[in-house]
Structure 1
Amino acid sequence: MRFFLSVLVFLAGFASVGYSEEHSGLRAMITGDDSRGWEAVGRLNIAGNSMCTGALIAPDLVLTAAHCMFDKDSRKQVDATKIEFLAGWRGGRATAYARVKRAVVHPDYTYAVNSSDIRVRNDIAVLQLTRPIQKTSITPFATGPRPRKGATVGVVSYARGRSDSPSIEESCRVLARQSGNLIMSCDVDFGASGAPVFNMENGNPQIVSVVSAMAEVQGRKVALGMSLAEPLEVVLAKLKETEGPFQKVEPASQRIILRGPLDHTGAKFVRP
C-alpha cells in the first residue's frame, strides 16, 4: 500500500497546552511499579531550554534522534557538555543523573528546518556520558532488526504536557516501511523525538527504531522513524573511531541545564 504523507509542521517552543489521552493507547507511568523495567528510558535536558527522549543502549551510551542535537535558531550542533540525561525521570526525580561528554550524529545526517529538506532515515545520534550509569535497577536495552509491516511495537516517551513522567504505548503498529523509514501508528508529540521504539523478543524489549517525526497519512496522525540497525552500526563505528581527546562542538547556547519541567521542546516533528 502506498502512503502519501501530508505534513504537520509543529515548531519547537510553542506554549504548553493540555494533553489528552483520548483515543490514544498512551498510559502514564506515574508510580515506581508502573515504570519498573523502563528506567533506562530518560529525559534529555538540552542546553537548558529544550528536551528530547533517550534510552540507554550501554551503561554510558544514550540513543536518541540526531535533530535533538541542534539549536533551531543557529542550526548549529549544541555543546554536548550542556546536555544532561535523567534516567527514569518521574515526579521530579530521576533514578540516575549523568551529563553528556560527547555526541556523535550519523555522518550522513544533515540538519534542516524546512520540511522538504528533512530526512528521517539517518536521524540518530549516540551520546556518551561522562560516567557509566551502573545501578541494578537500570538495565540498558538491546537493539534489534527492523520490524515487519504489521508488527506490533511500543514507545516509551516524554512529551509536551507529560514531561514529568514517562508514558508508554504498548500496541501501535508498523503501517509501512519505505526506503529505510518506518511509518507507525504511535501517538507522539513534542519531546518524544528520540524516543525508543520497542519490539518484544521472547518477552524482552529490543529497540528497533527511534522516533524522528510525526505526520499525517490519509488524515491519520502517525509517527516516523527509521530502520535502526544499519544507521546505528555506522554511528557506533564513528564513536569508536573518535575515542580519545574529543574536540567540543562550538556551543550554540550558554544556558544552564534545568531539571524542572521543560515544555518548550527541541523536537522537530516534520515530514522526512
Structure 2
Amino acid sequence: MALSAPSKCGPWFALGALACLVLPAVPAAAIVGGAPFADRAIARHVVLIVGGHSLCTGVAIAPDLVLTAAHCVLSNGKYRLLAFDGRRTVVKDVASVTPHPQFSLRADAPDLALVKLAPPLAANLAPAAFSDRRAPPSVGDRFIVAGFGVGVQGDGKTAGKLRAVTLVATDRPSSQQLSLIDPRKLGETAGFGVCNGDSGGPVFDERDRALVGIVSWSGRTDGEAVCGFVTGVIPLARYRYWILETAARLGSPLEP
C-alpha cells in the first residue's frame, strides 16, 4: 500500500475548545473510531501538552523529560504539561524544548522533540522503557498507540481523554517511517486511528509494552488528511543516540 505525502496531525487550533479542555479535573475523549480508554499501565507514562492554542500528547522518558513530536512545540508560546492521577490533575511548567536538529515538515523527517520539565518533579509520572528492537518492524506486527486527541474528527470537545488502541504495521516499514492501520479495516475504510491532538503520543510494542515510536501524522492512502485510516509513526531506534545525548546535556541522563 503506497502512501502519498501525509500531513502532520498534531496541533488543532480551536482556542475555545482548548480552554474548556484544560479547566476540568478529568479531561473529556481521543483516538477516532471508538477506541477504549487507556489502562493505568499506559496512562502513567503519558501526558497532555497544551500551549500555543494547540493540544498534543507526550510520553515521559525520565522523571523530568518528555518525548513528543517536534511539530507540536514549534511556536514560542508557553507550554504546560498535564499528568492525570485518577481525578487529580498535575500541571507542570516547561523549562525548555529541544527539537531534533534535522526536523522539517517532510513526512520522513525526525519529528521528535524533548521537553524538559521545570521542578518540582511530578510524582505520578512514570518513565516509559525503550524497546530493545533495532530492526525495522515487519508488516503485521502489532503496536499499541495512545493519545489525548479528538474522538471525532473536527470536534474539539471530544479531545482530552486518553485512549489507546492496537494497530498493525503496513506499507514496507523502515527505520525512518512506520505506517499503522486498523487490522479490521486494513486502511480501506475509516476505523481506529490517530487524529488532531494525538501527535507526540507513544507507540508501544504490544509484546512487551516497550516504547518504539512517536505518533507524527495521520492520513489516507491517497495522502488526504483524514483521520482513522493510516497512522504515521517515527521509529525511535534510529534516533536513540540523539535522545540519549540530548537528555544527558539537559541534565536528565538515560540508561543506554
Question: Structure 2-normalised TM-score?
Answer: 0.72
| SS of corresponding position for 2:197 | coil
Q: Does residue 1:140 correspond to 2:144, yes or no?
A: no
Letter in 2 for 1:45: V
Distance 2:211 2:175 in 1: 19
| SS of corresponding position for 1:236 | helix
* Maintained 8 Å contact 2:68/2:114: yes
Distance apart, 1:227 and its partner CA: 1.6
Distance 2:92 2:101 in 1: 25
Q: Does residue 1:85 correspond to 2:81, yes or no?
A: yes
- State the Cα deviation string for residues 89-123 of structure 1 (Å, max 9, x = none): 776x42x332111111111112x4xxxxx234400
The number of residues matched between the two structures is 216
When the two chains are superposed, the root-mean-square deviation of aligned CA atoms in Å is: 3.2
Partner of 1:175: 170
Indicate which of 213, 220, 224 corresponds to 2:232.
224
| SS of corresponding position for 2:245 | helix
Indicate which of 123, 146, 171 corresponds to 2:111.
123
In the TM superposition, 1:203-242 aligns within 5 A as 204-217=208-221, 221-241=229-249
* Maintained 8 Å contact 1:8/1:216: no
Distance 1:37 1:209 in 2: 14
Distance 1:21 1:139 in 2: 22
Indicate which of 200, 204, 212 corresponds to 2:206.
200
Distance 2:149 2:112 in 1: 18
Question: Structure 1-normalised TM-score?
Answer: 0.68
Q: Which runs of 4+ in 1 moved over 6 A?
A: 8-11, 19-22
| Structure 1 residues 241 and 6: alpha-carbon distance in aligned structure 2, compared to 1, 3 A threshold | closer
Q: Does residue 1:42 correspond to 2:51, yes or no?
A: no
Distance apart, 1:217 and its partner CA: 1.9
Letter in 1 for 2:65: L
Letter in 2 for 1:193: S
| Structure 1 residues 121 and 225: alpha-carbon distance in aligned structure 2, compared to 1, 3 A threshold | farther
Distance 2:31 2:250 in 1: 43
Distance 2:140 2:112 in 1: 23
Q: Which ranges in structure 1 are unaligned for 5 or more consecutive residues?
A: 72-77, 113-117, 245-272
| Structure 1 residues 210 and 89: alpha-carbon distance in aligned structure 2, compared to 1, 3 A threshold | farther
| SS of corresponding position for 1:147 | coil
The percent of aligned pairs where both chains have the same amino acid is 24
Distance apart, 1:243 and its partner CA: 5.7
Q: Does residue 1:156 correspond to 2:178, yes or no?
A: no
Partner of 1:62: 66
Distance 1:89 1:68 in 2: 23
- State the Cα deviation string for residues 247-266 of structure 1 (Å, max 9, x = none): xxxxxxxxxxxxxxxxxxxx
Indicate which of 91, 97, 105 corresponds to 2:99.
105
- State the Cα deviation string for residues 210-249 of structure 1 (Å, max 9, x = none): 11001112697111011212224214313434669xxxxx
Q: Which ranges in structure 2 are unaligned for 5 or more consecutive residues?
A: 18-28, 151-156, 182-191
Partner of 1:3: 2
* Maintained 8 Å contact 1:121/1:227: no
